[in-house]
Structure 1
Amino acid sequence: MTKAFRLIASTGIHKGDREYQQDQVALIAHPRYNGCVLGVVADGMGGRSGGRKASDQVMLTARQLFERYSPETDDPAALLRTIVQESHIVIRLTAISAEQEPHSTLAAFLINPRGDCHWVHAGDSRIYHFQGSRLVHRTNDHSYVQALVDRGELTEAEATNHPHSNILIGCLGTESDPPATAHLIPQLQPGDVLMACSDGVWHYFSPAELGSVLESLSPREATEFLIEKARQRARGGGDNLSLVIVKMETLVEEKKIPPLASLTPQPTGATRP
């Protein structure tokens, strides 16, 4: 039988060394179902206003659809696919009147009250699942260099520093239908950590480094540390940064020591600026 656990969470966002903030991040607690949360990261692309419009549309669409979601009767995987599809359509409509071509990545995870977790992503914003400091699973980017890694032509380390690491082969707002790669964690356990983030964060860390930070620090501390360390490592050339971290901890049942309060708070070949 699964032990009762609580969710402790934090979000973080910083414009890094860019002039404008085009990332968006949210951790949304369901208005009617306790323990049901949606985490979303969207990395907008397409010039000063285009990228921000695109990531704003992702957030608006995700919030509206999640508010209507019922974990008792609705299909969580279908909800996440719909968020991808409807965000894509709205961004495409926005592009008709926009000077720039707006595009956005999307990385979203949904935790149900019973403890199952579903996620979906499009583009190169990532979701990581750690148990303690051990990486259990992460998303594979819809990018040119990830395709090279999948074919065995590059290592993960080589891909990070590849000159074409900014070329995406799928995201929201392109002429082609966006990718929507899904994943299921049947049952979250105490010690599990989920992190969704834009490439402005993950680009500067190995999975081992991320695991160590997420295990040893609280979500809020980890969020602050990762943003600060990524900015140092970028040496003045860093992208926007956004992340959301959710940590599962065993529920403390000792009456004399109550638990701490939870913080619930491009066409194919699209190229990043």
Structure 2
Amino acid sequence: MAIAIDACAAQHQGDRREQQDRVAILPHPRSRGVALAVVADGMGGHTGGALAAEQVIHTARNNLEHFAPSEESAHWLLENSMREAHTMIKASRFMNEKDPHSTAVMLLLQPGKLSWGYCGDSRFYAYRGRQLLTRTVDHSYVEHLVAQGKITAAQALTHPNRNILVTSLGGQDEPLFTFGETADLQPGDSFMLCSDGVWGYFDEAELGAALADNTARGACETIIEQARRRAAGGGDNLSLAVIRLLKPAAPAR
């Protein structure tokens, strides 16, 4: 089945002094229908987080340029991009005397297949129309508590330790990666990658409505506008990438 793609990446600095998120949608330089979307949320003091997030984008772009879809797996591309970024961020500690870290979430779109991987609490969402198909589970302290049944998902949203991660790129410990894949793609499917500065202001139904009722650009504008309003002057950096699958337009007679 032929599918058209509507995509957009967007950012807002929020109420922070610096934009430490990075986001990109990168088309494969040689393979039609192959694209990599990336969101990275940097942490680590003034400029340190921004440099870490920038390293994630740089590594992903470089690996995509050398990726051979017919010979190499999506899992290989995603894992190596995150693992190499981790190594480079960790090495940068010795050069700039900072403590840089970054989350990463990546989506690789290929004809008839979608793959994703992540480290930290930047998220991937998949919807069919307004229905949530799946979302990633954060590598965070509160999600660990939710999984153990010690707190509810609603309590996690306001837990005082909700921003504590159990893994990230650039830390002393080896990072934790989680991956997913689907070959069930249909027109009307929407996918979103975002930093916690976005998802922290919405429930899953609200995000599904924004994605289903708008173009990719319109969804980005709507989500950022609502997040900024709800932040009430105390908002984090916001970064998101939206990819919507559409029926191709009928050729003109």
Q: Tell me the distance in 1 between the aligned counterparts of 2:185 and 2:172.
A: 37
2:51 partner SS:
helix
Q: How do residues 49-128 of structure 1 correspond to structure 2 at under 5 angstroms?
A: 49-112=47-110, 114-128=111-125
What is the aligned partner in structure 2 of residue 28 from structure 1? Answer: 26
Select the residue among 141, 144, 149 that pairs with 2:141.
144
Deviant stretches of 4+, over 6 Å = none
Cα deviation for residue 28 of structure 1 reads 0.4
Q: Tell me the distance in 1 between the aligned counterparts of 2:152 and 2:118.
A: 22
2:112 partner SS:
coil
2:167 partner SS:
coil
1:248 aligns with 2:245: yes
1:4 partner SS:
coil
2:82 partner SS:
helix
Identify unmatched segments of 5+ residues in structure 2. none
Q: Tell me the distance in 1 between the aligned counterparts of 2:145 and 2:215.
A: 35
Q: How do residues 150-161 of structure 1 correspond to structure 2 at under 5 angstroms?
A: 150-161=147-158
Cα deviation for residue 251 of structure 1 reads 1.3
State the TM-score, normalized to the length of structure 1: 0.91
Cα deviation for residue 92 of structure 1 reads 0.3
Q: Tell me the distance in 2 between the aligned counterparts of 1:37 and 1:73.
A: 16
What is the aligned partner in structure 1 of residue 233 from structure 2? Answer: 236
Per-residue CA shift, 1:215-271, capped at 9, x if unaligned?
001110010111111011111111000000000001122424xxxxxxxxxxxxxxx
Tell me the amino acid that sits aligned with residue 118 of structure 1. S
Cα deviation for residue 154 of structure 1 reads 1.6
Say how many residue pairs are matched. 253
State the TM-score, normalized to the length of structure 2: 0.98
Per-residue CA shift, 1:77-96, capped at 9, x if unaligned?
11100011100000000011
What is the aligned partner in structure 1 of residue 215 from structure 2? Answer: 218
Q: Tell me the distance in 1 between the aligned counterparts of 2:151 and 2:250.
A: 49
Identify unmatched segments of 5+ residues in structure 1. 257-273
What is the aligned partner in structure 2 of residue 177 from structure 1? Answer: 174
Per-residue CA shift, 1:138-168, capped at 9, x if unaligned?
0000000000111112222211111111100
Tell me the amino acid that sits aligned with residue 97 of structure 2. E
1:47 partner SS:
coil
